[in-house]
Structure 1
Amino acid sequence: MDKLDVLAIGELNVDLILNEIDGEVEVGKEKLAGNMSLTLGSSTAIFASNLSSLGAKVGFLGKVGVDAFGEFVTQKLAGRGIDTSLVIAEKSLSTGATVVLNYGEDRAMVTHPGAMDFLSMKDITDEHLASAKHIHFSSLFLQAGLKKDIHRLFAKAQALGLTTSLDTQWDPAEKWEFDFESILPFVDVFLPNETELLHLTNTATVEAAIEKLKPYVRNLAVKRGNKGSVLYRPGQELLELSGYLNTDVVDAIGAGDSFNAGFIYKYVNGTSLEECLDFANLTGALNTTAVGGTGAFASKELLSEIALRKFNISIDF
């Protein structure tokens, strides 16, 4: 059997998204939302779904409860052509859920981790890893069961000949405990956003953060929202690319995950890092044209139509 292009490992949950909210939420008061939707949530799942829509062969390894939300996310993944045979359903757990309050390009979120807290190294075998060419992991701080062993996961993957990518995402506790000296030497592509990078390194600028990470990092792609992105490669000049500006943002949920999907899609196909970065900027922007993290990625045809209409770009899959 052909190997997967990418095995996504990580959290699974649903997103209950509220839009058109009549003001910021206050304790003890009620606000109304003009629009609501239930979608596939979690950074890793949005990444996997959109990567599959781009044309990669993707599998998912994660944990859910035996409940309606667990069925929902598993069916959504399978509906996008993702191999869900490694998704573990446990009766004693509940599937995670995030309530998202959208305010233009910004948002507030409350997450119940549920089953995502319980995925651990004992659930991930060498055989699982060897089924793919590349592994991607997101949301380090939401996954207590794997956080302490993440360096082991990446080291094992590289020993088996896989390439690897990581997006730590936001730390809800805001402690930013990240052992980059042990982890990053085993990460081929590190994909934080600018704010997260500065917190992770306790620095004030991207340049200062890169200086701190230079002894350990391989390739670093920094997401900067509508400002574009920055790419650091050891021994080469810093590359800065402008973003693709969407002047009519529907919501920005999953834009960073869609950036990751675009980058890794090109990366596993052997494209230059410069082209990976430019395509990632485009897929991140495409994400903002529809509701939820996966709305714009329903098909290649839809992506191509939006890219041409919104950004005058013809996508080369």
Structure 2
Amino acid sequence: MLSPLSAPKPPKRMENNYDVIVVGELNVDLILNHISTFPQIGKEVLARDMQMTLGSSSAIFASNLSTLGAKVLFKGATGNDMFGDFVISELSERGVDTSAIVRNRQLKTGATVAINIEDDRAMVTHPGAMEHYSAEDVDVALLSRAKHLHISSVFLQPALKHNLLTLLSKAKSCNLTTSLDTQWDPAEKWELDLPNVLPLVDVFLPNEAEIKCLTHQPTVESALNQIGRYANTVVVKLGVHGSISYYKGTPNNIPPFLNNAVVDAIGAGDSFNAGFIYRYLSGAPINDCQRFGNVMGALSTTAPGGTGAFTSRAAIMKKAKDHFNYTENDVKR
């Protein structure tokens, strides 16, 4: 467990009821744009633009879900430093309850440097405090105040991954629905006990590369056939090809909403997750959740970083209509 701790600053409200508790990593993203070529060892190249934004899969998900209108509490850890201050401030400004975020004086807040070149990018991450966060830091009393638990980036959080079954079991004992996005494994070992983990996960949200690596299967279809024996709902993000879900033995492809002027794709998958879970919480059919996830993922690419396009719910829905002709009337909760 994390120690020593100090109160997060500035503190955010602690409410009795939440739609979602997010347990995951916290870091800043330093995004370098307008670079002519990837740097080589011993050489220097110039970036004509740089931005610092709220990073991490979990934080982007929480921020965008809150902006859509859900009540969200974040449970995680940062260092007691300027990056930690920035992360907490950004989440708070977007309506996320940050009162359960702990600050560790001996560790640093995580940071990712992203180098964007055209449609490709390279990233380097310092995990910082997130490496030391454990399921033991999440108690039943906190979980009992929510409807849903979302967990992300377990391979960046070895202490959390080690006790993942414990955390999911706690959530189920409190009658929460659950979702999981493992994200990429930097070590590329892909060691996760899927047959025991996924029965406790209501919505599993990998992307195409991740599900193939996790199952050691050559195609998404064969991966879905394998884990479909013990998983509940599986939703695979396919980027410019949309998404495919697998529910009760039936696959369902939903076509993408395409942005022809992509700023960057940082956080697009996390934005998909936010859209999907937002509709899922309202009891919408899986294909409706999927479609809303697709449009939120596409919308994310219209502004820098994972949260730049999510300024307010009204602005989100206006942009969805103007850019992607998404005009369904049932998006209201």
Q: Do the structures match in fold with TM over 0.5?
A: yes
- Note the alpha carbon deviations across 1:22-81, whole angstroms, 9 max, x for none: 111211111111110000000000000000000000000000011000010001101001
Residue 123 (structure 1) shift? 1.0
Q: Residue 80 of structure 1 aligns to which amino acid in structure 2? A: R
Question: Deviation per CA, 1:158-179, whole angstroms, max 9, x where unpaired?
Answer: 1110000000000001111111
**Counterpart residue type for residue 146 of structure 1:** L
1:209 is aligned to 223
Kept in 1: contact 2:195–2:230 (CA 8 A): yes
Task: Give the aligned partner of residue 194 of structure 1.
Answer: 208
Q: Aligned-pair distance for 1:2?
A: 4.6
Residue 276 of structure 1 corresponds to which residue in structure 2?
Answer: 289
Between the aligned partners of 1:30 and 1:305, the Cα distance in structure 2 is 42
In the other structure, the counterpart of 1:238 is 251
Deviation of 1:182 after TM superposition, in Å, equals: 1.3
Percent identity over paired residues: 53
What is the deviation of 1:212? 1.1
The alpha-carbon deviation at position 125 of structure 1 amounts to 0.6
**Structure 2 residue aligned with 1:142:** 156
Q: In structure 2, what is the equivalent of residue 179 of structure 1? A: 193
5+ unaligned residues in a row in structure 1: which ranges?
A: none
Partners of 2:326 and 2:171 lie apart in 1 by 36
Q: Which residue of 2 aligns with 1:293?
A: 306
Is 2:70–2:278's contact at 8 Å kept on the other side of the alignment?
yes
Is 1:262 the counterpart of 2:275? The answer is yes
| Counterpart check, 1:48 vs 2:62 | yes
Report the more deviating stretch, 242-251 or 17-26. Answer: 17-26
Deviation at 1:251, TM superposition (A): 0.2
1:231 partner SS:
strand
Residues 109-118 or 97-106, more deviating: 97-106
2: CA distance, partners of 1:142 / 1:238 = 30
- Show the counterpart of 1:79: 93
Please say if residues 104 and 249 of structure 1, whose CA atoms lie closer than 8 Å, have aligned partners that are also in contact: no
Is the 1:118–1:143 Cα contact (8 Å) retained in structure 2?
Answer: yes
Rounded Cα–Cα distance in structure 2 between residues aligned with 1:302 and 1:226: 23
Which residue identity is paired with 1:268?
L
Shift of the alpha carbon at 1:263? 0.4
- The answer as to whether partners of 2:112 and 2:126 remain within 8 angstroms in 1 is yes
1:218 aligns with 2:232: yes
Q: Which residue of 2 aligns with 1:8?
A: 22
Give how far 1:221 is off.
Answer: 0.3
- Structure 2 counterpart of 1:203, one-letter code: Q
Per-residue deviation at 1:297?
0.2
CA distance in 1, matches of 2:66, 2:120: 26
Q: Secondary structure at the match of 1:153?
A: helix
Q: Which consecutive unaligned segments of at least 5 residues does structure 2 have?
A: 1-14
* CA–CA distance in structure 2, aligned partners of residues 14 and 219 of structure 1: 31
Q: What does residue range 98-117 of structure 1 map to in structure 2 within 5 Å? A: 98-117=112-131
Counterpart CA distance in 2 for 1:242 and 1:158 is: 33
2:171 to 157, 161, 173: 157
Return the offset for 1:306.
1.7
Query: Higher mean Cα deviation, 2-11 or 187-196?
Result: 2-11
Could you tell me how far apart the structure 2 residues matched to 1:65 and 1:186 are?
A: 31
Q: Secondary structure at the match of 2:240?
A: helix
Whichever residue aligns with residue 63 of structure 1, its letter is: A
**What corresponds to 1:62 in structure 2?**
76
Contact kept, 8 Å, 2:57 with 2:152, in 1: the verdict is yes
Q: SS of 2:290's equivalent?
A: helix
- Cα RMSD for the two superposed structures: 1.0
Q: Distance in 2 between matches of 1:300 and 1:273?
A: 22
Q: TM-score scaled to structure 1, two decimals?
A: 0.98
Separation in structure 2 between the aligned mates of residue 215 and residue 152 of structure 1, nearest angstrom? 22
CA distance in 2, matches of 1:83, 1:285: 26
CA distance in 2 between counterparts of 1:104 and 1:310 reads 21
User: Given that residues 167 and 191 in structure 1 are in contact (C-alpha distance below 8 angstroms), is that contact kept between their aligned partners in structure 2?
Assistant: yes
Query: Residue type of the partner of 1:241?
Result: I
